[in-house]
Amino acid sequence: MRYGIQLPVQSQSTLYTEPWETTAGPEDLVEVARAAEAAGFAYVAACDHVAIPRRLAAAMSTVWYDPVATLAHLAAHTRTVGLLTHVAVVGLRHPLLSAKQYATLDRLSGGRLVLGVGAGHVREEFEALGADFGRRGALLDETIDALRAALGPEEFPEHHGKRYDFQDLGQRPRPVQPRVPLWVGGSSEPALRRAALKGDGWLPQGDPRERLAEKTGRIRALREEAGLRTPFTYGAIAEPLYVGRPAWDVGRRTLAGAPQALAESLRAYRAMGVGQLQVRFRSRSRTELIDQIAAFGAEVAPRLHEEE
């Protein structure tokens, strides 16, 4: 079971942002990404919003670094860690534009991109950009198909759909990877179906572990019905973590304690067939976060593969 991390600072929703992040910036992002790489993390992730309406700004904030620019910047400061969009709202943009950006990112990073996509949920964002919010699910379905073509090996990709139609338009550079991994985000029934039938993996939307097995089981059933046997990565988002005994209130939902105890708890995800686990740590500063990342990589991660 691999493990990755959603980057701090880059998005600052009140649901998860720590107070220190509000005054942090690019240097902090670089140091956290380097720490994750050193600790053996499979990826660092950045999420996507173009513009936040005033009615949601108090809860979501308006701090959302662009994922392509952010991950490209971090690619230049790291060597091996994967670069995940969790998630890119690709229906907001023409797929040829997205393909140009993400193919370039994959090329610049030496083939480290994992493209996580989702339908989006902010109506005003869609309206401002001329995208159809009411049909965002169908729009995402077609956009995935178009991106598969445009991020494939062909210099002149071809796609003919209801909304997008293109051929004889060349794009280089091509991605390093012959097939850029495409993980689908969301936990609704349409999202599960989309992940099962169109994706290489699934990114849940914060499902508690007691409901996760039901969702992964549904995806497996859909894939079996469709006769799909290609590799597929099931993801999970762990509860907030703190390695060791905290000297401050980390909240009742946080899993805190000795490395062995944390690993024992997190192995429950492996038993559900989870292939990659996204973690997030409680912290009061960049230094504390980096210490938590290092402790997880050195003391918790090696125990994730122990037998019960």
* pLDDT tens digits, one per residue of 177-207: 999 999 999 999 999 999 999 999 999 998 8
In the prediction, which pLDDT does 204 show?
95
Round to whole Å and give the CA distance between 11 and 110. Answer: 25
Q: Report angle CA 248, 2, 299 to the nearest 5 degrees.
A: 45
pLDDT one-digit tens code per residue, 139-172: 999 999 999 999 999 999 999 999 999 999 999 9
In the prediction, which pLDDT does 255 show?
98
pLDDT one-digit tens code per residue, 248-302: 999 999 999 999 999 999 999 999 999 999 999 999 999 999 999 999 999 999 9
Burial 182-220 (b: 16+ CB within 10 A, else e): bbbbbbeeebbbbbbbebbbbbbeeeebeebbebbeebe
Given a cut of 70, is residue 308 above it in pLDDT? Answer: no
Confidence of residue 246 (pLDDT cuts 50, 70, 90): very high
Q: Which amino acid is at 88?
A: A
Mean pLDDT of the chain: 97
Round to whole Å and give the CA distance between 37 and 233. Answer: 20
Number of compact structural domains in the chain: 1
Question: Any idea what the CATH number is for the domain that residue 93 is in?
Answer: 3.20.20.30
Round to whole Å and give the CA distance between 39 and 301. Answer: 9
Percent of the chain residues topping a pLDDT of 90: 98
Percent of the chain residues topping a pLDDT of 70: 100
Confidence of residue 103 (pLDDT cuts 50, 70, 90): very high
Round to whole Å and give the CA distance between 203 and 207. Answer: 10
The predicted model gives 88-104 an average pLDDT of 98
Quickly list DSSP for 194-241.
HHHHH-SEEE-SS--HHHHHHHHHHHHHHHHHTT--S--EEEEEPPPE
Given a cut of 80, is residue 307 above it in pLDDT? Answer: no
Given a cut of 90, is residue 306 above it in pLDDT? Answer: no
User: pTM for the full model?
Assistant: 0.97
Interacting residues of 278 by C-beta distance below 8 A, sequence separation 6+:
3, 4, 5, 6, 45, 86, 203, 235, 236, 237, 238
Length of the chain equals: 308
Q: Which domain holds residue 256?
A: 2-305
For 184-197, give the secondary structure using H, E and C.
Answer: EECCCHHHHHHHHH
**64 - beta bridge partners?**
11
Phi-psi region of 72 (alpha: psi -120 to 50; beta: other; left: phi over 0): alpha
Round to whole Å and give the CA distance between 97 and 169. Answer: 12
Phi-psi region of 255 (alpha: psi -120 to 50; beta: other; left: phi over 0): beta
Contact between 300 and 259 (Cβ < 8 Å): yes
Q: What does R_g of the chain's alpha carbons equal in angstroms? A: 19
Is cis: bond before 173, omega within 30 of 0?
yes
The predicted model gives 45-67 an average pLDDT of 98
Contact between 270 and 3 (Cβ < 8 Å): no
Query: Three-state DSSP class for 33?
Result: helix
